[in-house]
Structure 1
Amino acid sequence: MAKEMNNRQAYFNYHIEDKYVAGLVLLGTEVKSIREGKVSFNDSFCLFDNGELWVRGLYIAEYKLGTSNNHIAVHDRKLLLNKRELKKLQSALKEKGLTIVPLRVFFNEKQLVKLEIGLAKGKKIHDKRETIKQRDTEKEIKRFLK
């Protein structure tokens, strides 16, 4: 079974304030490609268009056994959330100057593809340095304990 794919860069560049799990509107070849772990989060972000939430820049590689009906690797994909969640996200974006970033792609217990998104605030350079310092000290402690 395919493992979940995480967006490690998002945790480095942003403070994640709130998380939501959204469904994705996908084609069959996209699902097969995700099962193979062919997902990249580079430069991906979420935006609202006519009251709907979309993820832009999410790279899902073309399925190698796909026919002429294979999908396009990078295109806008619609996210499926409740109206209440959509309104809450939209108001948070307007008020606080936050952004929505994709955090991970995974399969739920019903084997449906889900995208975890986070309401995030950008980190400053000194915050990123602190994150690096903290990660290095954790590695040193683990190395010392072994």
Structure 2
Amino acid sequence: MTKQFKSWNQYTEEAKHDPFELPVSEDQTIIIEPLTGAGLLQFARAERAGDMEAMLIVVCGDAWEHVEPLLAKAGIKALENLLTDLMLHFDLAEDYVLIGQGGGKITERDPRKIKALRKQGYRFEGEAISRT
């Protein structure tokens, strides 16, 4: 039996993703294109290093020159929320399994929702149960 491999065209077709649209005003919308494969490698390096600026620069690509001035005037939550929304939109955020006090499991990737679940007593799968 001969194994069928995907063609490069199949890989690129599967990788297509809609751009992220960031409305700035009624007449201006910043379009952030999906990462390339090389961009994904750069993003992963920046994420491992915990470098939020590098993560944003890489994920924004050519749009960074329009995004950076907006962030320079905004509070830190704007930066955090934009980065999170970009990561969710482009499927860059990892899934985490959380377990509730009753044993029910939830899979979530949005860190804002994960933080809220943790405050409700959920713990990460594999994390020891707190005795306090």
TM range (shorter): under 0.3
State the TM-score, normalized to the length of structure 1.
0.26
State the TM-score, normalized to the length of structure 2.
0.27
> Whose Rg is larger?
2
Question: Which one scores higher on RCO, CA 8 angstroms, separation ≥ 6?
Answer: 1
Higher helix proportion (structure 1 or 2): 2
